[in-house]
Structure 1
Amino acid sequence: MRIGRVVAGTVALAAATTIMATSESAAAGVTPRIGSDHTYSGRQNTLSVPLHKSGVAQHQYRVAVYTGNKAGAGTDANVYITIYGTRGSVGPIRLDNSANNFETGKTDRFTLGLRDLGRLKSIKIRHDNSGKKPGWYLNKVTIDGNASFSAYRWLAKDEDDHRTWVKLPRR
């Protein structure tokens, strides 16, 4: 049946566009707040995001985001990442895995199922300046443990260059 194939294809596409996210907060037993577009199972959130038009997740990127240990370094804002590689780019993708993402001195870890981007060249990371304390001191981001993107700067309307985003080359 044609309808059955369409439904099966839609389910397969949804499964291929899944991001699994875990964090130190979740590992410590902090229960994340889950919105209507999330499901929760144990210590992982499953977030659905659109992928490449093929809908095929060919690579699992392990992303670690390191928030600085300065006073007020954490953010309540929504954080987004765009990843650039030799085979194209993907994003922005909202990084969200618990109610306590991006806290002072913490590392948040995400696994993103995406198409293969080739050798990673750079990232753009930003926040939407929302929440009571949106300013954020970002130390660095690593992807797959070997691609490092150093920031060591504020992403804040009231700090440094007053930007809430930065594009970082691979180090």
Structure 2
Amino acid sequence: VPKLNYSSEKWKVVTWTGDTGTDANVSTWVYGSKGMAGPMRLQKSNNTNPFLSNQTDEFQINVKDVGKIYKIRMAHDDTGIQPHWKLEKVHYAQQRLDLAVSVMAFAILLFIARSLRQFTDQDKEFASQ
């Protein structure tokens, strides 16, 4: 098993959208033992139109060294004609030397309809299990 390297490297983020897609701008945060990275906007999907209903999207992001990841946050900016979003699952994989090392998978089953500017106690933060 390869040792995970948490330096600033490319990571693949895969999202699974349920029966409600969004055209809002989606961002993620990553929380680790050494700090937090984000917001990082998820853009340049493997699909022309990301976050469509019942679609899986893959994104590449650069994540600084945050240590061992223990939590993520997913949110959007409430823009577009259809900002509501039903996010079912998120998967993070570190990309290293043509080797994808699976790190985190989050089963979410969540309907995101809040703006980035309106965080409450019901923020969409997910701790790994």
TM-score range, shorter chain: 0.7 to 0.9
TM-score (normalizing by structure 2):
0.74
Q: Which residue of 2 aligns with 1:83?
A: 30
Aligned-residue Cα RMSD (Å) equals 2.0
Q: Based on CA coordinates, which of the two structures has the bigger radius of gyration?
A: 1
The one of the two structures with greater contact order (alpha-carbon pairs below 8 A, sep at least 6) is 2
Look up the equivalent residue of 2:39 and give its one-letter code.
Answer: P
Q: Which residue of 2 is the match for residue 153 of structure 1?
A: 110
Q: Which residue of 2 aligns with 1:140?
A: 89
Shift in CA distance, 165/128, structure 1 to aligned 2, threshold 3 Å: farther
- Cα drift, residue 119 of structure 1: 1.5
Q: How many residues align?
A: 107
TM-score (norm 1): 0.57
Offset of 1:154 from its aligned partner?
Answer: 0.6
More helix by share: 1
The match for 2:17 is 67
What is the 5 A alignment of 1:89-168?
Answer: 89-97=36-44, 99-144=48-93, 145-156=102-113, 166-168=124-126
Runs of 5+ unmatched residues, structure 1: 1-56, 158-162
